[in-house]
A and B are shown apart, each in its own frame.
With several copies, the nearest count.
Chain A
Amino acid sequence: MRYEYLTGNIAIAEASIVSGLKFYAGYPITPTSDIFEHLARELPKYGGHVIQFEDEIASINAVVGASWACAKAMTATSGPGFSLMLEALSLAVITETPLVVAYVMRTGPSTGVPTRSGQYDVLQSTYGFHGGLVIPVLAPSTPQEAYDLTVKAFNISEKLRTPVVLLSDAVVAHTYGKVAIRERSEVEIVDRSKPSTPLSEYRPYDPVDGLVPPMACFGEGYSVLVESLTHDERGYYAPRSDAQRKLMWRLYRKITESSGKLFDYSSLYLDDCDVALVSYGSTALSTQVAAKTLRERGVRACSLKLKTLFPIYEEGISKLLKNVEKVFVVENNVGLYYRELRGILKDRDVVSVPLIDLDVPLPQEVVGVVDKWL
């Protein structure tokens, strides 16, 4: 282990190499291009490939292809590019393709302010693709978290055979911080489980035991079928309600039943708290300070920073906040993740604190809104 000063974007790039990234495809977009550029220089040194494609659609479809060629694969993008990638993310969900998308949020909608920050896309990151299932979403608020959650994102993607969204933002992307860099030998790296059946008996969508099927890839003799249609365990088209039910519920359960294992958060003063400030990503930096400020003023405030946004660990979050009277959900948007939390914290007052700022909303803004409710 060693320490370096890195931005969130470079932390993502470095962590992806440690995680075993072997293929990156991308298209330039602010504020993610430096992930791409860093990898273009560094990844070939580790035998990996970095290719620029003609657009984001080609990039994400290439990432899907690379993953089926056994390579850990990633792309990075921002709002307009992520919107273009959603059709292929839906493909990755139904074909159970491990891959990571680093989604560095900027100010939207549409072109918005490309160089500046926001958290407008938190619901899009998991509800954006057609098909109504869940993609795991992790949100860093510091370069160190960007590093650690990137490793985690690759591990989840391989373990659960799923696309994973690493949801960063323009502030985290370009803020420098001290990052503990771990060598590959120091990090737990998960690789997809490989089939143990004879070549001719392999069924690419058969979970055997559990919910996640072992994954063979191209060129190994398994004659795999990557199938975007509703399919049975062999990958054969199965336009029947029973097949659809079986596939949908398995795809849903493999993600949602892992919500406890995937859950990651950090907190301040949670043991002794009446007023909880919940946030994520760069806004959490202000929220932590706001909690301290309120404490200094005698309010029993605490802060809960969520690093796993989806799947939502409902019981876990509910339990963490069980002794709290009031929950404030602080976000740099019109109040989006609040919609999720109010649904699972039914017996508590949940208040939305939507603060729109091209950078991080200031702690005093957070305190100001909370004050009105106290």
Chain B
Amino acid sequence: MAVTHPLDPYLRVDRIPTMWCPGCGLGIALGAILRAIDRRIEEGLLKKENIAFVGGIGCTARMTLYPYFDSAHVIHGRAIPFAIAVKVVKPEMKMVIVGGDGDIAAIGGNHLLHALKRNADLLVIMVNNMTYGMTGGQLAPTTPRGLYTTTTPYGNPERELNVIKLAAALGANYVARSSITHPQLLERTIYKALAKRGLAFVEVLSTCPEIFGRHIGLRNPVDLYMELKKKVTVKTNPSIEESDYDWGRGFVIGEFVDRDEPGFLDTYREYISKSFGGGAV
């Protein structure tokens, strides 16, 4: 099999093309993630056999189907506890969770909350397309207020969930928002996040022209992409207040939190080794 693309070694090329609709932002996201991983492998920080992708259910979670690493495509909302366990048993693993806003922040909300609280050693990449794409356009926790969706045909009466604010309040080591409209920046963000201990949370604003585009009147992929790009402002070290989530006023992308507290694994192992002199673990 001829290698035709520099990322082919990281892909199950026999599964390409992907199941994603034309114009979907997920391909851009996957490309950026794999390039960031490639750089970390080239540097020697990561080993290919120690990288694992875990996803629940949804279009983003299907990102686990294509990379040529250990992968788990599990059940809706539950990627995080699966990944925590792998990391505890095999601390040499780098666990990458990929999930949509519904998978990570709706049904999976409690596991995210407690992973943040624990500062669990995970890279959580939440690709936010602001809707339920796979099931056809229902309300997501990130759907802009007022928007008509298939389950809110009279307008979404709910406030949006700002997951950046949640992640920051609960003490993740790294909290960033990025966007598929800025692929190089996205790659740099993932690259940085891959080196963190503790929990690194990256929200990736993305485009779903097929479903969200229909809701918002921008079904042409390029139009939706350009619209999202217009709404995005890049900032260096923005404050948490600047993370406000507002489709109307646009989104600040950047690193909101970057600290280096001990991760769950550090403290867990410290407590056990204190009692057993390090021999048992």
B residues in contact (CB < 8 Å) with A: 15, 49-50, 52, 54, 57, 65, 68-78, 80-86, 88-90, 92-93, 102, 106-107, 109-111, 113-114, 132, 134-136, 138-139, 141, 150-154, 268, 272, 275-276, 280-281
CB-CB under 8 A from B138, the residues of chain A are 28, 33, 36-37, 52
- With contacts A51-B88, A64-B85 known, what are 11 further pairs, Cβ within 8 A? A27-B107, A49-B281, A50-B151, A52-B151, A61-B82, A66-B89, A80-B57, A111-B57, A221-B49, A224-B71, A226-B72
| Interface residue range, chain A | 35 or more
Which 9 A-B pairs rank lowest in CB-CB distance, beginning with the nearest?
Answer: A65-B82, A65-B85, A226-B72, A62-B85, A69-B89, A58-B81, A66-B85, A55-B107, A221-B49
CB atoms of A46 and B89 under 8 A apart: no
When A23-B89, A29-B135 are in contact, do A223 and B71 touch as well, CB less than 8 Å?
yes
Residue-by-residue, is A102-125 near B (CB-CB < 8 Å gives 1, otherwise 0)? Answer: 000000001100000000000000
CB atoms of B81 and A53 under 8 A apart: yes
CB A77 to nearest CB in B, in angstroms, measures 12
> Does chain B have a CB within 8 A of A367?
no
CB-CB under 8 A from A57, the residues of chain B are 78, 81
> Does chain B have a CB within 8 A of A40?
yes
Majority secondary structure, A binding face: mixed
Identify which of B88, B111, B136 contacts A58 (C-beta below 8 A): B111
CB atoms of A44 and B154 under 8 A apart: yes
CB atoms of A49 and B110 under 8 A apart: no
CB-CB under 8 A from B109, the residues of chain A are 54
CB atoms of A80 and B90 under 8 A apart: no
CB atoms of B151 and A47 under 8 A apart: no
CB atoms of A218 and B90 under 8 A apart: yes
CB-CB under 8 A from B49, the residues of chain A are 219-221, 223
CB-CB under 8 A from A218, the residues of chain B are 52, 70, 86, 90, 93
Bound complex: CA of A227 vs CA of B12, how far in Å? 15
When A40-B150, A54-B114, A54-B141 are in contact, do A61 and B89 touch as well, CB less than 8 Å?
no
CB atoms of B69 and A223 under 8 A apart: yes
Closest to B157 in A: A51
> Does chain B have a CB within 8 A of A237?
yes
Bound complex: CA of A184 vs CA of B83, how far in Å? 30
CB A235 to nearest CB in B, in angstroms, measures 9
Residue-by-residue, is A30-51 near B (CB-CB < 8 Å gives 1, otherwise 0)? Answer: 1001001100110011110111
CB atoms of B151 and A219 under 8 A apart: no
CB B119 to nearest CB in A, in angstroms, measures 14
> Does chain B have a CB within 8 A of A135?
no
Bound complex: CA of A228 vs CA of B75, how far in Å? 7
CB A82 to nearest CB in B, in angstroms, measures 13
Bound complex: CA of A61 vs CA of B138, how far in Å? 20
CB A7 to nearest CB in B, in angstroms, measures 15
